[in-house]
Structure 1
Amino acid sequence: MTHSFAYTHYDLDMQRSGTVIEITLSAVANVRLMSHGNFDLFKNARQHKFLGGVAKQSPIRLKIPQSGHWHIVVDMEGHPGKAQSSIKIVPKGPEKPAQRFNAA
């Protein structure tokens, strides 16, 4: 079984604990930060755990809770219309440029 709603998926690959991800949205949307295992559950419309929720303002920032393989999903479930999104990793110091990701 899969979801009946469209979503945008960003594969963050391996990230360290404490890394901050900034998500920019064009409209109210659901933003879910999930581990690799929880993303597999999400893809199959199974119960899963995530950080985030309804983002009513933009940009929002989420912090990676533990080192590992992470994913972000932006979806409109329960909200009308469509939202454009982009994400970037917020650099820890001013010397590093932000790392950007494209939707998978």
Structure 2
Amino acid sequence: MKFTHYDLGILIKNQVVEVSLSGNAANVYLMESKHFQEYKRARKRFGIGGLMMHTPVRLIVPHSGHWLVTLDFGGFIGKVDSNVKVYPANTSIEP
């Protein structure tokens, strides 16, 4: 299964990760770096997210650590362009 990932580095609790998609719907997951290796090997998804039909998707970092965003089609064929932004903790973001 093909996937795209963004290494966000160290984030702190309550930062907002915004993912925008253009194209097909996709599985979007915010996961800790320790789970990324397992995701690559077994395609198990550990983290926050799921199938996203509408964007932007805003995910809140639950605790400080090293975080990544992954995008995939769950084994199906698709094409999507993506963009990821990270905002400071407690930022008010307009819909």
What is the rounded CA distance, in whole Å, between the counterparts of 2:66 and 2:17 in structure 1?
13
C-alpha RMSD of matched pairs (Å): 1.8
Instruction: Return the TM-score normalized by structure 2.
Output: 0.84
Q: 1:78 to 1:48 in 2, by over 3 A?
A: closer
Percentage of pairs with the same residue: 39
What are the superposed Cα offsets for residues 47-76 of structure 1, whole Å, 9 maximum, x if unpaired? 442100000101110011000000100111
Instruction: Return the TM-score normalized by structure 1.
Output: 0.78
Larger radius of gyration: 1
Q: How many residues align?
A: 90
Name structure 2 gaps, 5 residues minimum. Answer: none
1:20 to 16, 30, 44: 16
Runs of 4+ displaced beyond 4 Å = none
Is the aligned partner of 1:58 residue 2:58?
Answer: no
Structure with the greater relative contact order (CA < 8 A, sep ≥ 6): 1 or 2? 2
- Structure number with the higher strand fraction is 2
